[in-house]
Chain A
Amino acid sequence: MTEVEKKCIFAQTVDTAPDGRKDRSSASLKAQQAGESGWAWSIVTVSLCTGIAMLTYPAFELVDVAMIYLLGVVITASRTTKWPALLTAFLSVAAFDFFFVPPRLTFAVAQTRHIVTFAVMFFVTLATSRLTLRIRQQAEESQLKEQRTAALYDLSRELVRERDMDKLKAIAEQHIGKLFDSNVVVLLPDLHGRPMPPAREFPWSEQEREAAQYVFDNRQPAGSNALTGPDAVALYLPLIASAGTIGVVGLRQKSKRKLEPEQLRYLEAFINQTGIAIERALMAEESRRASVKAETEGLRNTLLSSISHDLRTPLTAVTGAVSTLLDADARLDRQGRRELLETIQEESDRLNRVIKNVLAMTRLESGVLMLQKEWQSLEEIVGVVLNRLGERLNDHPVTLNLPASLPLIPFDGLLLEQVFMNLFENAIKYTPRGTPLELSASEQLFTVTVEFADKGPGIPPGQEERIFEKFVRGGTAGGGVGLGLAICRAIITAHGGRIWAENRPGGGALFRFTLSSAGVPPLPEREE
């Protein structure tokens, strides 16, 4: 019986029908039928053999009749299991004796030599049936092995293709769950080495948590079916990779059947594959983080050294002007005093701008994930920037070309404002007074392209890319940290867009950037 059962579990393991449950019930039904029909087989075969022998008996010898029974045993053994085959052997000898060995229709035996015939016949049938069975088992086993290997291969192939941790987990959970007819979860540890509770539906309790923790700490299985560790409803196995235990796999069988050692080994093979894949994903993530961190730290250092200069220059001017005002107030005329005060105001503004950019940069560097995307209107943001720049734009007539048909854009409003602010401030800094600025935007295929053009001296040839690097200044004019365009690029890139610069054919610089307008915001119904 157990053999039939085992066969059914594994047979079902390789079934690739989409609905595992249905599969399973039909498989177990088949197994049951095989068990019952085994006995039927043996009785029917013996009856059939007896019938055929009856028809031929007067013509054939007793030895030939024995052969007919032998054939019946071989057929039964090839179709059923051990016990029905044995029964067939026994019934064959009995029927042979009853129907054919004189005196017929009794179990009595006239000649003693017939007893030897029975013994030989019984052992021959037995040996034949066992040989037949073994051959069949071997064939089945090799088929099974092949199927298991195929299933394992399927899993590892899917795992290799995936890089995302959650998807890796889902693939492993799905595969193992289907193969072992169980609800499976992959539990990864949190920062303190505690397996995180399952994210998907899985019966979870303090007991389960303890078992999972035990597995993670001791690298030993725990829970139901396990010989070690605390008991639990589900079975927990360690997810072992080269670096040690990287997680725990929880498996809750849908049936109450115990897992065979062979199945456990098979399960381990699957879990090992999963472990390798997850470790690979973890390492990739770690190396990515390390490189980001190194970059951030490098930036921070350069930023500090560069900023101290840019902060001190305006500060020096302010301190100087103020101390003159304080010390020499009486000696200053009205005009002189006014000039000093204007200096203070200008330099303070400049200081404020530098600080704003530095803060924006740190905000961007510290967490691009902090983007607060909202549906924004370009016209509105440009309006804010123009308003804020106010008088500083007096020397630069601005032409706007923002079609009313422009869609809303999912963007962090403050950051987009910063982009425009930096572009305008750059233009004010690097283009001569009186030269015009043009800002236009257009949409194509869910991408809004913004163009910002000036009529200034343009960008030094070959520097079109370099100006977007940190701490690179476009020229000697003005004086800032050289962060403006780097910030623009960081912001645009963080939103999945692109920004680049080129020189205009007629002179001047042209900055272009793209923003995705994909997706439709839920809008109120139209009125009127």
Chain B
Amino acid sequence: MRRFLRITLQSHGYRLIEASTAQEGLLQAASRNPDVVLLDLGLPDMDGLEVTSRLREWAQTPIIVISAREQEQDKVKALDAGADDYLTKPFSANELLARIRVALRHSIRGRSGRPEPIFVFDTLRVDLSQRQVFLNNNEVHLTPLEYKLLMVLIRHAGKVITHRQLLTEVWGPAHAKEVQYLRVYMTQLRHKLEADPARPRFLINEPGIGYRLKYDPDERASIK
């Protein structure tokens, strides 16, 4: 696994710092200050949740969690504890690279502190300053909650957001478990913004985890 990561990432110009235990990883993260942390949930000495929260105590470094499919609960916990994204084994090199690009972009923008005023994805254009949404240059009317939901997704564009995070940001902490709210509103959003709601291109469901506004900075660059 590490060899695959090393070869893939090095061939794309990234430098790697490897650690085989959580202790070592935390130490390395503290001393070498990496741009992105890839965290396998199957570490021998600590669970991913703990590593995530320890890292988050002092660092805002993006964390991408890597795990097997059967650990949904662990993934959600790690994400709620502050991890930025996740990858399920087995994954392709392209997926990995896309996630890393998104994570890096978020961390750079986080540092500069200013969200972009206009968000463009393919035929969708959102003018954040005017609170207007356009699809194929036609304005789409969204309800306040739909817009709020879309805003949260855009703010985290490209990254997965857990159900709990979304519900807390849009409806408040009291509704953090009402997943059905999301189902209804995501369906409404899809019907308004997607050409074919059953084959969504950007409002993506991550079963058992949350939602993702599909977005890759590099792809976007090529579209423009």
Q: Decide: A383 near B171, CB < 8 A? Known: A356-B69, A375-B180, A408-B180.
A: no
Among A348, A372, A377, contact of B187 (Cβ-Cβ < 8 Å): A377
In the assembly, what is the distance between CA of A376 and CA of B205, in Å? 11
Q: Is B197 an interface residue (CB 8 A)?
A: yes
Among B144, B146, B171, B183, contact of A380 (Cβ-Cβ < 8 Å): B183
Among B70, B72, B185, B198, contact of A383 (Cβ-Cβ < 8 Å): B198
Residues from chain B with a CB closer than 8 A to the CB of A375 are 179-180, 183
In the complex, which residues 416-458 of chain A have their Cβ closer than 8 Å to any Cβ of chain B?
417
Q: Is A395 an interface residue (CB 8 A)?
A: no
Q: In the assembled complex, how far is the CB of residue B58 from the closest CB belonging to chain A, in whole angstroms? A: 34
In the complex, which residues 172-208 of chain B have their Cβ closer than 8 Å to any Cβ of chain A?
175, 178-181, 183-187, 190-191, 197-200, 204-205, 207-208
Among A386, A524, A528, contact of B199 (Cβ-Cβ < 8 Å): A386
Q: Which 6 A-B pairs have the closest CB atoms?
A: A375-B180, A521-B180, A527-B143, A377-B183, A413-B207, A380-B205
For chain B, the bracket of interface size reads 20 to 34
In the complex, which residues 325-377 of chain A have their Cβ closer than 8 Å to any Cβ of chain B?
348, 352, 356, 359, 363, 372, 374-377
Q: Is A379 an interface residue (CB 8 A)?
A: yes
Interface string of A104-140 (1 = CB under 8 A from B): 0000000000000000000000000000000000000
Interface string of B79-119 (1 = CB under 8 A from A): 00000000000100000000000000000000000000000
In the assembly, what is the distance between CA of A327 and CA of B57, in Å? 50
With most chain A CB atoms within 10 A of its CB, the pick from B72, B144, B145, B184 is: B184
Q: List 20 A-B contacts (CB under 8 A).
A: A359-B70, A372-B208, A374-B180, A377-B183, A379-B190, A380-B205, A383-B197, A383-B205, A384-B204, A384-B205, A384-B207, A386-B198, A408-B183, A408-B184, A522-B178, A523-B180, A524-B175, A524-B181, A527-B145, A528-B143
Among B171, B179, B187, B199, contact of A387 (Cβ-Cβ < 8 Å): B199
Residues of chain B at the chain A interface (Cβ within 8 Å) = 69-70, 72, 90, 143-146, 171, 175, 178-181, 183-187, 190-191, 197-200, 204-205, 207-208
Check if A527 sits within 8 Å of B144, measured CB to CB. yes
In the complex, which residues 378-421 of chain A have their Cβ closer than 8 Å to any Cβ of chain B?
379-384, 386-387, 400, 402, 404, 408, 413-414, 417
Check if A352 sits within 8 Å of B90, measured CB to CB. yes
Check if A380 sits within 8 Å of B179, measured CB to CB. no
For chain A, the bracket of interface size reads 20 to 34
B184 nearest CB neighbor, chain A only: A523
Residues from chain B with a CB closer than 8 A to the CB of A356 are 69
In the assembly, what is the distance between CA of A380 and CA of B194, in Å? 12
Check if B186 sits within 8 Å of A380, measured CB to CB. yes
Among B90, B144, B207, B208, contact of A348 (Cβ-Cβ < 8 Å): B90
Residues from chain B with a CB closer than 8 A to the CB of A348 are 90
Q: In the assembled complex, how far is the CB of residue A166 from the closest CB belonging to chain B, in whole angstroms? A: 27
Residues from chain B with a CB closer than 8 A to the CB of A414 are 72, 207-208
Residues from chain A with a CB closer than 8 A to the CB of B191 are 404
In the assembly, what is the distance between CA of A464 and CA of B208, in Å? 32
Residues from chain B with a CB closer than 8 A to the CB of A527 are 143-146
Q: Decide: A376 near B183, CB < 8 A? Known: A383-B198, A386-B198.
A: yes
Q: In the assembled complex, how far is the CB of residue A297 from the closest CB belonging to chain B, in whole angstroms? A: 22
Check if B200 sits within 8 Å of A383, measured CB to CB. yes
Residues from chain B with a CB closer than 8 A to the CB of A359 are 69-70
Q: In the assembled complex, how far is the CB of residue A526 from the closest CB belonging to chain B, in whole angstroms? A: 9
In the assembly, what is the distance between CA of A523 and CA of B199, in Å? 25
Q: In the assembled complex, how far is the CB of residue B214 from the closest CB belonging to chain A, in whole angstroms? A: 9
Residues from chain B with a CB closer than 8 A to the CB of A408 are 180, 183-184
Check if A379 sits within 8 Å of B197, measured CB to CB. yes
B203 nearest CB neighbor, chain A only: A383
In the assembly, what is the distance between CA of A363 and CA of B191, in Å? 34
B163 nearest CB neighbor, chain A only: A374
B197 nearest CB neighbor, chain A only: A379
Residues from chain A with a CB closer than 8 A to the CB of B175 are 524
In the assembly, what is the distance between CA of A417 and CA of B200, in Å? 16
B68 nearest CB neighbor, chain A only: A359
In the assembly, what is the distance between CA of A523 and CA of B186, in Å? 13
Among A379, A524, A528, contact of B171 (Cβ-Cβ < 8 Å): A524
Residues from chain A with a CB closer than 8 A to the CB of B69 are 356, 359
In the assembly, what is the distance between CA of A377 and CA of B180, in Å? 9
In the assembly, what is the distance between CA of A382 and CA of B199, in Å? 8
Check if B198 sits within 8 Å of A382, measured CB to CB. yes
Q: Decide: A524 near B207, CB < 8 A? Known: A348-B90, A380-B186.
A: no
Check if A400 sits within 8 Å of B198, measured CB to CB. yes
In the assembly, what is the distance between CA of A413 and CA of B179, in Å? 12
Q: In the assembled complex, how far is the CB of residue B7 from the closest CB belonging to chain A, in whole angstroms? A: 15
Residues from chain B with a CB closer than 8 A to the CB of A522 are 178, 180
